[in-house]
Structure 1
């Protein structure tokens, strides 16, 4: 297993995984991811914030990190945190508990970057996903109605989000 930054060579596969994730969301009757702008993904890659797990020479999972997320986390954004966004798993690798792998990696990433928290959000109250993230070590902090979402992707507009956190100092 390799965990590494995604490269520009991965862009088509990243978009394929996002499309597959959206198709999966559709089957669960939950809020769908919008089609993300190519420039967003290119920027995340250039800033070394787009990540991948490679298994058997295939991208098994992707995600994005940030060190700031004020529109979702509000005043809590002042806390030293790593924020994880848009986890998308290749269907060929589902069931391998890759979120737990990401959590282990994120704990190390947080320590290396002097961050106390690992945080995530998901749009809506998806109880199955909430329970899964709790099993992966996250505390569920509850639902929050977002305010100014103009610069966030479309699925955040007029949405409530479920917030999750791991305190690495505990």
Structure 2
């Protein structure tokens, strides 16, 4: 199992994983991700912001990162964090705690880049995801109401309540 950047040949598989995630979100009556355009994913790949955990020849899990997230984090966004978005697990491999591997990778990557924080968010008051992310080492900072969502993907415009999570690398014991 290894973590590496996604490539342009992964786009169809990534979109398939997103479709499976949307189906699960609908089934669980959660906030549903929009359908993402190929060009959107391709751009993230070209910018080396799409990552994957590969098990053999299968993408077990993928996610995107950003280095700025002012619309969500407001004044806390000071070029000192990496932001994780759209964690998506292969439906045949759910339950393997890939979040732990992502967190370990993100901490090492953030340190390598001289960043202080690893951050992520999720929409709505999803108590299962709150427990999932805190069990992986994130501090739950609370729920904020987003006001500047026009440049964000569509699901942020439908659900303004956003849960914020953070790992502060300066205040971490390990």
Query: How many residues matched?
Result: 170
Shift of residue 37 of structure 1?
A: 1.9
Match of 2:99 in 1: 99
Shift of residue 169 of structure 1?
A: 1.3
**Unaligned runs of at least 5 residues, structure 2:** none
Match of 2:49 in 1: 49
Shift of residue 33 of structure 1?
A: 0.3
Match of 2:129 in 1: 129
Q: What SS does structure 2 have at the residue aligned with 1:36?
A: coil
**Unaligned runs of at least 5 residues, structure 1:** none
How many angstroms apart in 2 are the aligned matches of 1:3 and 1:30?
A: 28
Which aligned runs of 4 or more in structure 1 are off by greater than 4 angstroms?
A: none
Match of 2:163 in 1: 162
Q: What SS does structure 2 have at the residue aligned with 1:78?
A: coil
Shift of residue 2 of structure 1?
A: 1.1
TM-score, L = length of structure 1 = 0.98
Match of 2:30 in 1: 30
Equivalences for 1:73-112 in 2 at 5 Å? 73-78=73-78, 80-112=80-112
How many angstroms apart in 2 are the aligned matches of 1:110 and 1:169?
A: 11
How many angstroms apart in 2 are the aligned matches of 1:111 and 1:92?
A: 32
Two-structure CA RMSD over aligned residues (Å): 0.8
TM-score, L = length of structure 2 = 0.96
